[in-house]
Every structure is written in C-alpha cells, then in structure tokens.
Amino acid sequence: MTELPIIELDTPRIRPRLPEWLRVNLPAGSGQSTFNSTQLTIVGNELHTVCEEARCPNIHDCWARGTATFMIAGKECTRGCRFCSVETLREPPPLESEEPERLADAVQRMRLAHVVITVVNRDDLADGGADHYKHCVTAVKERLPSTTVELLCSDLAGNWPALEHLLDSVPLAVFAHNVECVPRLDGMVRDPRASFAQSLEVLRRAKQLRPDLWTKSSIMVGLGEADAEVLDAMHQLRSVNVELLTLGQYLAPGKPGTRYLPVERYVHPDTFASWQEAAYAMGFRGVASGPLVRSSYRAGMLMAEAQGRS
C-alpha cells in the first residue's frame, strides 16, 4: 500500500524531523470502495465530520473501514484553540433542526454498531448547544436501538444546569470530554475560556449525574510538556473516575507561527507504551496510547475493551 506522510508546514529551523512511525496508508481495493461510500453518505446527508474539519491523519483508515466521527451543531466553533483547524466564528450559523434526523439516517446507512458524535463549542447559545446535542443522540437511538452512542461534548462554558439537562435520560454509552493538554500549557494551547480545571469538573459532574456511563478523555503530547506532567494529568483524570483514556501525538494542522503551535517533540512509541502501562496501573479500563491515536480512534473497540475489564 502507498504510504502517505503527514505533512506539517513549518520552517526547518523549528521543526523536528518527521519520524518514520508517523506515516499512514492510503486505502486500496475494497478499502478504497468503502472510503468512497463513506464519503458519499456524509456528503449526501449534508453532515460534517471531525475527520475532515480537524484534518485527522486517520481519515483514510477510518473511512476505509466504514466509520467516521460526526461533528454536529455546525462546522464553525466559537473558540480559537491553537491546536485545532476548525474555523472560528463569534456567531456561527443557527442550528439546523433537521440535523438529528440526517445524522440518524447516515448512521443507519453506514450500519454503525458504535457511533461517535462530537460537537463544536457554541458559546453563542444560552445552553451551549446541549439541547441540540441531546436531540441528535436521541434521534440515532430511536432509529437504531442497538447502536451504542458516544458523545464527545464541549465544556458547555461551565453551564451545569445545561449539562444536567443533556445527560438526563439521554441514551448514551460513553460521555467524553477532552482535557487536551497538561494543565500548565492551558494558556498557550487552548482558548482562554477553556481550562483543565473546568474540563475536569465537567467529567466529575458527568460521572456524578450518570454513574452508568463510561467517561472518557484525551491528552495531546508534543507541545512542551514533561513526561511527569502527563502522568500527573492522568492521575487527575482518575481522581474524577474517568475510565477511558487516549493519548496521542500533536501534529500541527497548518503552518505554525500564525494560529497553530509548532511541535516541540515527537514522542517515541515506547514512551506511549509506558504511559499505557501506567494508565492501566492507575485503574483506567480502556487505554489507547500511540503517536497516531486520536480521541475517537476505534472508539467502539476501546469501549469493548473496557467492558471486558469490568
């Protein structure tokens, strides 16, 4: 299969050499056919995916297996985090009332056993989009009762009544929210309205409101953190009973020096393996740790692993 390097636009002066393990394969044969079918379903149902908007390096792998991570509430975000390629708008277009049914139709067409729904931040809305997110999840479950649903949610700007409304009786299997980076790097990496502490509180309250749900979070590395800080962030996630964890390499989605941060280091796969071992020792039930791991990568398999460890 043809290898496709992940290209980061940066100057040789500040860019570490791209290591050989950061390569992905283009689909071929039946994989290419499935990739095309996935793309047609997404386009035909007028949906957005984080695979495209966030320029995920795993898009070829996932779409060639007939899976995708849907992004609801629009393709523009009200925040401007420096690791993310999703467009920022202070006032994105209004929510689309037909989106829940279009989403459910796409999931049905793709015959997904497990679907990940992620969201953009909608700070322009009083409830942060919580009611719309709930309608989208419910529409999928009403159409496909046997499909498990994972919601990768925003922090809802710390609107706790909105979080309670979202989680009240919503038919979810996994509630995910990403802390993104170690606490020390919040101010450099994330929008000023986001923080590790607020994200941790979202996860704590979600587990308190719905102890039946798996809770999940993700950490990017390669942004200037120390290994000890990664372990500390993991311990903090376990302190609020997060059970599923992903760790992956940060890759600039565009040219650093403008909006995007440069890569400070490429973490070796052996280090990711050591973090995975440490995570299991801390009590995490499902862990995916590797250079190309992303928060939604093979999410159904991660949930199944956690169930097997229960």
Cα dist from 121 to 126, 144, 225, whole Å: 12, 27, 25
pLDDT (0 to 100) of residue 10 = 44
* Confidence bin at 258 (pLDDT 50/70/90): low
29 Cβ contact partners less than 8 Å away, ≥ 6 residues apart: none
- Percentage of the chain surpassing pLDDT 90? 65
Residue ranges per structural domain of the chain: 20-309
Mean pLDDT of 78-106: 92
- What was the pLDDT predicted at 4? 41
| Single-letter amino acid, residue 42 | I
Q: What's the whole-model pTM score?
A: 0.86
pLDDT given at position 7: 40
Q: How confident is the model at residue 57 (pLDDT cuts 50, 70, 90)?
A: low
| d(C-alpha 218, C-alpha 35), whole Å | 26
What distance in Å separates the CA atoms of residue 10 and residue 182, rounded to the nearest whole number?
A: 24
- 300 vs 13, which has greater pLDDT? 300
Closest by Cα among 137, 46, 161 to 93? 46
Q: Specify the CATH number of the domain 20-309.
A: 3.20.20.70
11-35 mean pLDDT: 61
User: pLDDT (tens digit, 9 = 90+) per residue, 212-223?
Assistant: 999 999 999 999
What Cα–Cα distance (Å) separates residue 97 from each residue in 129, 246, 258, 263?
12, 32, 35, 39
More confident residue, 275 or 109: 275
Nearest residue to 255 (alpha-carbon basis) of 82, 29, 92? 82
